[in-house]
Amino acid sequence: MKSKFKLLFITNSLTGGGAERSANVIADELFQRGMDVHLAPINQGPHDLVDPRCKIHEMNRRWDSNFLTVFVTYFRLQVLAWRIKPTHLVLHCDLPELLGAFLIGNFKIIAVEHSSQPWAQRRLLGLLTRKILRSRSTIWIAVSDHLKIWGLKERADFVISNPIPTEILLRSTGPGDSKAISIQRLVFIGRLSLEKNPEVVVRLAHQTKLSVLFVGDGYLREKLKDLSDELGVVSSFVGQQINPWDHCNNSDIIVVPSKFEGDGLVVVEAIAQGFPVLLAKIPDLLRFQLPSQNYASDVGNFASRIESYRNNRAELVAPDSIRDSLVRSRHPVNCADAWVELLIPSQEKR
């Protein structure tokens, strides 16, 4: 039976972070349920581990291009919206919010809050954009119940967790099964940017005499390489990868030293696969409610945790009860069910 829904998802790119991957998963799952789903990634780049089967309209804007290209992209999106006539516009992150706020059409807008600190570099523009979105009766989704809608001083209309891709759920690495394996390497996965705090990992590697693998890219890459050379740390930088977990093995520990996080999808995927994790002691990550040994507040504290569990890495793997609950709540089918429940009443109000 043909669905009455026609959704246009607008994202930064096909891959890059948790927001992009979760949008891919949901778009694909809703498409498999018979909905007419379209995905419009703004910036050019490689495909993701999750390759959605819906219709994809790539805008092919370069990440480092000037602001004029934003206007060009807006007009291209407007033509696309007029052509496909979506019932719902789904916006993920800052630039899609900005462009979507001004698109003209008879659709309901849904915006997804992925971070506790969005619009970090352009606060005034972010405030203006969100005031416009509010005036258009936008439905707000938060990917975690600890997130408020920044700039609007209000709670989200819905809380829907980001899904764990089926490709991750099907992996059976089981790295936590063997207590005999010691920690051999630190692994950082994500953007090499200030809010992710990757410098901590280099200094931690120096203190613990471990090597470190960086999976991801960003403007701090050269600085981190120089710091590694200065401290004599053996560091590998493999850049952005379609599947970061292919580069990890059962003697690694995933280190997440972020200053703030949104959903923390790297943590979610690491826990789901049974990797040991060591996280910054911040509210955004404490919500996972892992045992105290999984958290650290500074480099010295991180190093102390590594030394305490270097030869018993299984103690830094999340308990089965937390892992099972996380996987159940974030299965793509369950997350898509929540999206359908959101869409039905919003459609009835149109």
Per-residue pLDDT, averaged over 15-26, amounts to 90
The first and second tokens of residue 148, run together, are 């408020």
The first and second tokens of residue 111, run together, are 């915006």
Closest by alpha carbon to 97, among 108, 81, 84, 113? 113
Instruction: Name the percent of the chain lying above pLDDT 90.
Output: 79
Strand-pairing partners, residue 11, are 41
Closest by alpha carbon to 79, among 152, 8, 157? 8
Cα 152 to the center of its chain, rounded Å: 22
- Give the separation between CA 116 and CA 99, rounded to whole angstroms: 21
Q: Are strands 235-239 and 252-256 parallel, antiparallel or unpaired?
A: unpaired
Checking if the pLDDT of 215 tops 50, the result is yes
The first and second tokens of residue 188, run together, are 């950082």
Of the candidate ranges 72-81, 141-150, 196-205, 271-280, the one whose mean pLDDT is the lowest: 141-150
Q: Which helix (H) or strand (E) holds 39?
A: strand 36-41
pTM, rounded to two decimals: 0.87
The first and second tokens of residue 60, run together, are 């092919």
Closest by alpha carbon to 250, among 344, 313, 198, 336? 313
The first and second tokens of residue 168, run together, are 């991750």
Residues 6+ away with beta carbon under 8 Å from 67? none
Contact 311, 288 (CB under 8 A): no
265-273 vs 320-329: helix axis angle to the nearest 10? 120
Query: Which pLDDT value is given to residue 20?
Result: 92
Residue type, 315: E
Structural domains of the chain sorted by starting position, each given as residue range(s) with its CATH number in brackets: 6-163+331-348 (3.40.50.2000), 167-327 (3.40.50.2000)
Query: Which pLDDT value is given to residue 115?
Result: 87
- Give the separation between CA 116 and CA 145, rounded to whole angstroms: 11
* 51-97: pLDDT as tens digits: 999 999 999 999 888 889 999 999 999 999 999 999 999 999 999 99
- Give the separation between CA 214 and CA 209, rounded to whole angstroms: 16
- Give the separation between CA 332 and CA 330, rounded to whole angstroms: 6
* Positive or negative: CA dihedral 84, 89, 92, 96: positive
- Give the separation between CA 334 and CA 161, rounded to whole angstroms: 9
The first and second tokens of residue 101, run together, are 């706020």
Per-residue pLDDT, averaged over 156-172, amounts to 87
Q: Give me the helices (H) in 182-331, please.
A: 199-208, 221-231, 265-273, 283-286, 299-309, 320-329
| Residue whose tokens read 């416009």 | 132
Strand-pairing partners, residue 109, are 89
Q: Rounded mean pLDDT of the chain?
A: 92
* 326-348: pLDDT as tens digits: 999 999 999 999 999 999 875 55
Contact 87, 350 (CB under 8 A): yes
Query: Which pLDDT value is given to residue 145?
Result: 87
- Give the separation between CA 243 and CA 247, rounded to whole angstroms: 8
Closest by alpha carbon to 251, among 173, 189, 320, 303? 173
- E strands within 12-106? 36-41, 55-56, 88-92
Checking if the pLDDT of 173 tops 60, the result is no
Query: Which pLDDT value is given to residue 175?
Result: 47
Checking if the pLDDT of 184 tops 80, the result is yes
CA distances from 176 to 96, 183, 274, 296, 306 (A): 39, 11, 6, 20, 15
Q: Which comes out higher in pLDDT, residue 349 or 78?
A: 78
Instruction: Name the percent of the chain lying above pLDDT 70.
Output: 95
